[in-house]
Every structure is written in C-alpha cells, then in structure tokens.
C-alpha cells in the first residue's frame, strides 16, 4: 500500500512538472511572437495559442495580459472603426479574465487603461469625455498599486500628452511622467516571474525623443 502511494505521488509530481514545463515553453514561444507578428493572421494565431494556454492553466493571468496586448496591436492593423472596436472589446475581455485570476494587479490595470486610451483615439471628439476618465482612473490606480511600475508611468505620460494636445495645455506633466518611466526601467529590479511584462523601455525612449525633445539643439 505504501509503495503504491509513493508511486502515485511520483506520477503526480511528474505530471505537474510536465505541465509547468509546457506552460513555460508555450509562453516563451508565444510572447515574442506576439510582439513580432506583422499581420492580422499571424497575430490571431498567436492570440489563439495564448488563449489556449490560459484556458489549460486556469490560474495564470499572464496569457490573458498578452492576449489583451495582442488585440490592441490587432486593432491598429485596421482602419474601420467597427474593426478597431471589435478587437479592443476583445482586449478588454482578456483584461477582465486576467483580473479575475489576479485582482488589483498594477500591470493588468495599466493594460485596462491602455485599452481605454486606444478606444479614445479611435474617435476623440465623441469619446473624450468618457474614455479619458476611464483611462486616467486606471493609470492612477496602477501607479497606486505599484508606484515603481514603469509601464504605468509611461502610459500615463502618453495619456497626459494626448490630453494636453487636445485641450491646448502644456506638456511638462506628460514629459515628467515619461522621464520618470525611463528612469524606472533602469532602476527597478527585474521580476522573478520570467513572464511578467518587461516591454516599454525602447518605446519610452522613442516617445521622449518625438514628444519631449523636439526642437532641442536646433
């Protein structure tokens, strides 16, 4: 009896190790593919893979985070408002799925704000009042949850800049958030979770050059 119990435990442990290994392999393959996909077909294939990983694991938020990011990228590949909205709605659904698994997470809340920010840009004139408030609320919450999250500050800076441009205000606050994000990318310790978000430094550098350093030295 004892021998059988030991054998059963060994099988269960082996199965668990295999499952963890498969998750790591799938995420290690599909996260880079999500960033590098250049057309809707390839991107949808990666999103489908990530959704399957999330469904198979059941208790991991990371696949849904990257699904949301993938659908934001997908929305940018289409011109029609209805197509953009369709994929942004799917992105928000993925954020909600991730937040069910890990509530009050700074990265997921940042992604929620990102979706709302892109929703706004689809039609700023009619959506500004609604989606600007939603985006700002999410970025503020994300920063409150983790003040050292560089992506939260980067996205906040983008939102502040867009608002300043639309309303005719100054951009000092926006550029301050962007520079703060850039410092954090270098200073914040790398997460022990190999699948935690780590994107944004290069994009922040480009954004600062485009928005905050124009005209300097000319």
Category of 215 on φ-ψ map: left (φ > 0), alpha (ψ -120 to 50) or beta: left
The answer, yes or no, to whether residue 73 has pLDDT greater than 50, is yes
pLDDT at residue 169 in the model: 82
Do 120 and 197 lie in one domain? The reply is yes
Residue 195 sits at φ, ψ, to 5 deg, of -105, 5
Residue 154 inside a domain? The answer is yes
Q: What CATH number does residue 123 fall under?
A: 1.25.40
Provide mean pLDDT across the span 155-164: 96
Residue 153 lies in a domain: yes
Could you tell me if 147 and 122 lie in one domain? yes
Model pLDDT for residues 83-102, shown as the tens digit of each residue:
999 999 999 999 999 999 99
Instruction: Tell me how far apart the terminal alpha carbons of the chain are, to the nearest angstrom.
Output: 83
Q: With 80 as the cut, is the pLDDT of residue 1 above it?
A: no
Tell whether 207 is covered by a domain.
yes
Q: Calculate the alpha carbon distances from 91 to 95, 114, 143 in Å.
A: 6, 10, 21
- Distance between CA atoms of residues 67 and 101, nearest Å: 14
* Chosen domain end from 51, 70, 103: 103
Q: Tell whether 209 and 139 lie within a shared domain.
A: yes
Range 126-155 average pLDDT: 97
With a cut of 60, say whether residue 215 has pLDDT above it: no
- Chosen domain end from 79, 103, 127: 103
Distance CA 57, CA 65 (A): 14
Separation between Cα atoms, residue 151 and residue 81, nearest integer Å: 26
Q: What is the DSSP string of 52-97?
A: HHHHHHSS-SHHHHHHHHHHHHHHTT--SHHHHHHHHHHHHHHHHH
At 190, the pLDDT band (50, 70, 90 cuts) reads confident
Question: What is the predicted pLDDT for the residue at 216?
Answer: 52
- How many domains is the chain built from? 2
The answer to whether the CB of 55 falls within 8 A of the CB of 68 is: no
**What's the distance, CA 211 to chain centroid?**
22
The answer to whether residue 62 sits within a structural domain is: yes
pTM score: 0.88
Domain that holds residue 94: 10-103
Nearest partner of 65 among 130, 33, 109, 127, judged by Cα: 109
For 194, the token pair is 């190999």
The answer to whether residues 181 and 151 touch, using CB atoms and an 8 Å cutoff, is: yes
- In this structure, the answer to whether residues 57 and 159 fall within a common structural domain is no
């Amino acid at each position: 009896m004892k021998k059988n119990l030991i054998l059963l435990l060994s099988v269960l442990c082996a199965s668990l190790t295999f499952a963890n290994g498969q998750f790591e392999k799938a995420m290690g393959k599909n996260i880079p593919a999500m960033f590098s996909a250049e057309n809707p077909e390839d991107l949808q294939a990666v999103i489908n893979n990530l959704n399957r990983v999330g469904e198979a694991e059941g208790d991991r938020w990371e696949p849904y985070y990257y699904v949301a990011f993938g659908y934001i990228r997908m929305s940018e590949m289409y011109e029609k408002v209805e197509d953009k909205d369709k994929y942004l709605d799917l992105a928000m659904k993925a954020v909600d799925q991730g937040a069910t698994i890990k509530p009050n997470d700074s990265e997921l809340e940042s992604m929620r704000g990102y979706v709302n920010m892109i929703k706004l840009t689809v039609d700023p004139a009619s959506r500004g009042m609604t989606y600007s408030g939603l985006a700002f609320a999410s970025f503020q919450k994300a920063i409150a949850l983790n003040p050292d999250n560089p992506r939260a500050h980067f996205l906040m800076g983008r939102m502040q800049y867009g608002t300043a441009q639309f309303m005719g205000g100054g951009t000092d606050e926006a550029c301050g958030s962007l520079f703060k994000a850039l410092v954090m990318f270098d200073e914040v310790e790398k997460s022990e979770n190999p699948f935690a978000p780590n994107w944004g430094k290069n994009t922040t550098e480009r954004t600062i050059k485009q928005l905050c350093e124009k005209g300097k030295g000319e």
